[in-house]
Structure 1
Amino acid sequence: MLEDKKDRGDNKMLIEAVHIAVPTAFFEDESLNIQGTISHIRDLYEQGVKSVLVSGTTGEQHSLNLQEKMELINSLELEEDLTNNIEIIFGIASIRQKEAEALAEKIRHTKIAGVMLGYPPYIIPSQEEALAYTKRIIQHSNKPTILYNNPRRTGFDLSEKSIIQLSEIDVVIGIKDAGNKEKLERIKKRMDRNDFYFYAGGEVDIEEKVSYGYNRLSSIAGNISPIEIRNWFQKIMMKQKVSEQESEKIKIIMEQIYQGNAIVNLKKIINHNGIPMGICRSPMGNA
């Protein structure tokens, strides 16, 4: 059974409207480079970033095995200035529920601020199976949770009914990539809470998404221009005018990241800036 709110006094909401979905660093032999990953997070922190997503959305999560994810968590826990001063969100998803539960249990006893809970690729669970999977992982992590719906990559689409049902769990604070305008509007109409957040995955079409209800950002481009992206998103949210100069700067940033494979482009830029982000695990980056 999920714990009552009164039993979770040390848990808090995720307060930042923008988090940076950071890539994972690898050495040339494709082994995990934990210190390279942390170096990038630290660089973002020193630039003023207040929230990051690790092992989450950049397309590399499912290449990491359970042991690698555990090692990454252990190393993050040693970085007390980071865990004490920024929101670190950790991605949980696995084709095996048992492994996702083990990772969630590990996170439960850390200072990690929250989790992004994704769905297993390829196997396409039923809605009932996905609900059971979600609830079990939440039981183990007991952390503020963002659901991650990504049917284009996983083949599974969390239904409106399932999203609304899961939103009734207090620690579920939002969902990333809930769906298109019509689906989002129907969800919001039926949902019985106003503190539930809708995260856009990346900056593409963000103005349109905000216009029909997305109100937080899981940023990709923020890995190279965090302050510019955050300020731009804030202006969009507040319906403030974005100057021509700002728009041109954002256009250049977007072209750098989104022309081609975004994660490959990101790593090239971060490496060029002197942080050892390394390569992608093949087949990513083969071209």
Structure 2
Amino acid sequence: MLTEKVHIAVPTAFFEDESLNVQGTISHIRDLYKQGVKSVLVSGTTGEQHSLNLQEKFEIISGLELEEELINNMEILFGVASIRQKEAEELAEKIRHTKISGIMLGYSPYVIPTQEEAFAYTKRIIHLSNKPTILYNNPKRTGFELSEQSIIQLSKIDLVVGIKDAGNKEKVERIKSGMHKNDLYFYAGGEVDLEEKVSYGYDRLSSIAGNVSSTEISQWFQKMLMKQKLSKQESEKIEYIMEQVYQGNAIVNLKKNINHKGIPMGICRSPIGNI
């Protein structure tokens, strides 16, 4: 199963014409690995997942499979979501036959399935991928919210290990009280309001800011979990990192920072970054 408390949701690299740059993406993952990062989420939650077509996702997976050191020594998670279930199924089947450690299962944007339809979709994708699965509840981006009843029911599936952005304090409490197992992890999506989320039960992190400051973000989160206070110097450092990443468009800021290091992360696909 998935053992890392923090994974970094990495951006996808694109060339200046907005075409996919697989090696740029992998170069960034390799740099994080050299920094000691043990887990990354690819094609996940940095706002670019649904701009990638199925073939592009296959190309990223093929590129990762060639990186034996990375795929053998890191927990590499892959985002599985599509507006069409058929494409999500094909992606899940592809991942099944790889050393990818697990999947982040997202829901179709815009179409707004019913809870019953989302439940059937989830079971089908998990069955096809046969990988440890983090459910991704993201109503802000998709328009669909996974209900607490659905989360409780899905948590009974052995391969369901976590839920990302489960909801507010009351919803998390109701989910926890309704579950039959205590080993479902609650992942916070990014660092905004992180202390508040930890206070009501989130115990893992899908990090955005870790792309530029992996060690500091990981240490901050660990201290938060252990209810340890930061020094003044540490607090000022975190405040600076948060401002650097989250003032404006986070994905645009990340790519500028990564490019500045000499790693070819390139641009975003417009309209993101078109100003």
Partner-residue secondary structure (3-state), 2:188: strand
1:43 corresponds in structure 2 to: 31
1:192-238 Cα distance to aligned partner (Å, 9 max, x none): 11111000000011111000000000000000000110001000001
For 1:66, the aligned partner's letter is: L
Distance (Å, rounded) in 2 between the aligned partners of 1:221 and 1:199: 15
- Structure 1: gaps spanning 5 or more residues: 1-12
1:9 corresponds in structure 2 to: none
Match of 1:219 among 187, 207, 215: 207
Partner-residue secondary structure (3-state), 1:234: helix
Distance (Å, rounded) in 1 between the aligned partners of 2:6 and 2:35: 14
Match of 1:253 among 238, 241, 247: 241
2:58 corresponds in structure 1 to: 70
Determine whether 1:32 maps to 2:20: yes
2:185 corresponds in structure 1 to: 197
1:110-137 Cα distance to aligned partner (Å, 9 max, x none): 0000000000100000000000100000
Following TM superposition, by how much is the alpha carbon of 1:241 offset from its aligned partner in structure 2, in angstroms? Answer: 1.5
TM-score (norm 1): 0.95
For 1:23, the aligned partner's letter is: P
Following TM superposition, by how much is the alpha carbon of 1:186 offset from its aligned partner in structure 2, in angstroms? Answer: 0.7
Distance (Å, rounded) in 1 between the aligned partners of 2:137 and 2:40: 19
Aligned length: 275
1:119-156 Cα distance to aligned partner (Å, 9 max, x none): 01000000000001000000100000000000011000
Determine whether 1:179 maps to 2:172: no
Distance (Å, rounded) in 1 between the aligned partners of 2:127 and 2:270: 34
2:100 corresponds in structure 1 to: 112
Determine whether 1:135 maps to 2:123: yes
Following TM superposition, by how much is the alpha carbon of 1:40 offset from its aligned partner in structure 2, in angstroms? Answer: 0.0
For 1:164, the aligned partner's letter is: I
Distance (Å, rounded) in 2 between the aligned partners of 1:136 and 1:193: 22
For 2:4, the aligned partner's letter is: E
Distance (Å, rounded) in 1 between the aligned partners of 2:196 and 2:147: 22
Distance (Å, rounded) in 1 between the aligned partners of 2:30 and 2:212: 13
Distance (Å, rounded) in 1 between the aligned partners of 2:151 and 2:243: 33
For 1:114, the aligned partner's letter is: G
Distance (Å, rounded) in 2 between the aligned partners of 1:223 and 1:73: 20
For 2:20, the aligned partner's letter is: L
Following TM superposition, by how much is the alpha carbon of 1:55 offset from its aligned partner in structure 2, in angstroms? Answer: 0.0
1:148-206 Cα distance to aligned partner (Å, 9 max, x none): 00001100000000000000000000000000011001111111111110000000111
For 1:270, the aligned partner's letter is: I
Partner-residue secondary structure (3-state), 1:246: helix
1:54 corresponds in structure 2 to: 42
Distance (Å, rounded) in 1 between the aligned partners of 2:93 and 2:198: 34
Match of 2:264 among 276, 281, 284: 276
Match of 2:155 among 167, 181, 184: 167
Partner-residue secondary structure (3-state), 1:269: helix
TM-score (norm 2): 1.00
- Structure 2: gaps spanning 5 or more residues: none
| Identity %, equivalent residues | 81
For 1:226, the aligned partner's letter is: S
